[in-house]
């Protein structure tokens, strides 16, 4: 369907743009329209992994920034 292709394209573009939350949402919708599709399952898994890594990296950056600010204070 056109909607399936649109969500697939949105997810692919979001991944390329490092917008992992958007990619997860788009691939989830694509999978809802085409359940059990191995390609979408793989893309969704990759998007979730990237999102988790991104969130962890941001949290670590914030932690190191706080330590640096405390050291300067």
Neighbours of 60 (CB within 10 A): 10
- pLDDT tens sequence for the chain (73 residues): 899 999 999 999 999 999 999 999 999 999 999 999 999 999 999 999 999 999 999 999 999 999 999 999 8
Question: Torsion over CA of 54, 7, 44 and 20, rounded to 10 degrees?
Answer: 0
> What are the Cα distances from residue 63, in Å, to 21, 29, 41, 54?
22, 34, 33, 14
**pTM for the model:** 0.84
């Amino acid at each position: 369907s056109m909607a399936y292709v649109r969500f697939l394209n949105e997810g692919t573009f979001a991944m390329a743009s490092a917008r992992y939350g958007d990619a997860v949402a788009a691939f989830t919708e694509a999978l809802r329209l085409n359940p059990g599709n191995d390609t979408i399952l793989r893309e969704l898994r990759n998007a979730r992994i990237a999102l988790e890594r991104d969130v962890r990296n941001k949290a670590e950056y914030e932690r190191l920034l706080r330590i640096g600010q405390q050291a300067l204070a």
